[in-house]
């Protein structure tokens, strides 16, 4: 997600995992629907602002924007991006880049205070970007993750989305299935018809297909994502009852 912070080579080399229906789960056929980028300060090349009207005109209905990281970092472009996205009619997702070597509750509080709510029109649920262990073993990282998610849900009133990539989840999180009630945003760049889904999630909600995409209005390469319409109506998910599909 934050393309300067972790190796896309690792993600591309994730081994394929056969999806098996679990007892009590019915397999869901994924259907790619609305698309959108995710951005951080890296997409503001030379300090240039993103032209969100051009992003929307190119057919992208949503975008994920980095809000915070750890205990002290706030994306300096978060507020202007949030405001300009709304004026352009682009649904806003916001994410916190986890630093598990630091306690989860204050990180959740920093994120919630920065985004000032995720329940308004054009708001997607909050996102936890989990792609580093902070040196924690799986049991401790699982506990850290649950504590963060509980705190963010209490502060925002919405169940968060988890962003991760298959190999990280299978190793750092011991492929736990404890988080399947949360929507999954999975990074998988292999170019297959479907992404690899770890942790016994029945399906994905968002799929990050590449970190080398090109979108009008955004300078340089950016991540591209798809929403799975098998998860339900995107307009309702994004608090956009009057926002039509394109």
| Backbone torsion region of residue 161, taken as left when φ is above 0, otherwise alpha when ψ lies between -120 and 50, otherwise beta | beta
Q: Phi first, then psi: give them for residue 236, nearest 5 degrees.
A: -70, -40
For residues 217 and 5, the model is more confident at 217
Q: SS3 letters for 178-222?
A: CCCCCCEEEECCCCCCCCCCCCCCCCCCEEEEEEEECCCCCCCCE
Residue 4: per-residue pLDDT: 41
Catalytic residue among 2, 38, 211, 223: 38
Residue 177: band (very low, low, confident or very high) from pLDDT cuts 50, 70, 90: very high
Please answer whether residues 49 and 211 qualify as being in contact, where contact means their C-beta atoms are separated by less than 8 angstroms. Answer: no
139 is a catalytic site residue: no
Cα angle 143-105-157, degrees, rounded to a multiple of 5: 95
The domains of the chain are located at 31-127+146-223
From 2, 69, 123, 129, active-site residue? 129
Query: Is 105 one of the catalytic residues?
Result: no
Burial class from Cβ neighbours inside 10 Å (0-12, 13-18, 19+) for residue 76 reads exposed
223 is catalytic: no
List, for residues 85-141, the tens digit of each pLDDT value: 999 999 999 999 999 999 999 999 999 999 988 899 999 999 999 999 999 999 999
Fold of 31-127+146-223: TIM Barrel (3.20.20)
User: Span 34-61, mean pLDDT?
Assistant: 96
Task: Give me the catalytic one of 2, 69, 81, 131.
Answer: 131
- Which tokens is 240 given? 């956009």
């Amino acid at each position: 997600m934050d393309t300067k912070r972790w190796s896309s080579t690792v993600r591309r080399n994730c081994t394929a995992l056969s999806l098996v229906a679990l007892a009590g789960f019915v397999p869901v056929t994924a259907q790619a629907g609305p698309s959108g980028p995710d951005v951080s300060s890296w997409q503001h090349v030379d300090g240039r602002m993103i032209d969100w009207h051009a992003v929307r005109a190119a057919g992208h209905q949503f975008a994920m924007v980095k809000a915070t990281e750890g205990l002290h970092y706030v994306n300096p472009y978060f507020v202007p991006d949030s405001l300009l996205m709304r004026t352009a009619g682009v649904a806003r997702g916001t994410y916190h880049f986890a630093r598990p070597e630091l306690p989860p509750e204050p990180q959740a509080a920093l994120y919630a205070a920065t985004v000032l709510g995720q329940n308004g029109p054009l708001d997607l649920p909050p996102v936890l970007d989990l792609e580093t262990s902070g040196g924690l073993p799986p049991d401790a990282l699982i506990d850290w993750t649950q504590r963060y998610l509980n705190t963010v849900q209490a502060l925002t009133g919405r169940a968060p989305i988890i962003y991760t990539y298959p190999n990280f989840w299978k190793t750092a999180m011991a492929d736990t299935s404890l988080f399947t009630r949360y929507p999954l945003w999975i990074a998988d760049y292999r170019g297959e018809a479907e992404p690899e889904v770890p942790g016994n999630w029945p399906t994905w909600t968002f799929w990050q297909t590449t970190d080398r995409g090109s979108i009008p209005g955004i300078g340089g390469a950016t991540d591209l994502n798809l929403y799975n319409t098998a998860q339900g109506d995107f307009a309702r998910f994004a608090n956009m009852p009057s926002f039509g599909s394109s």
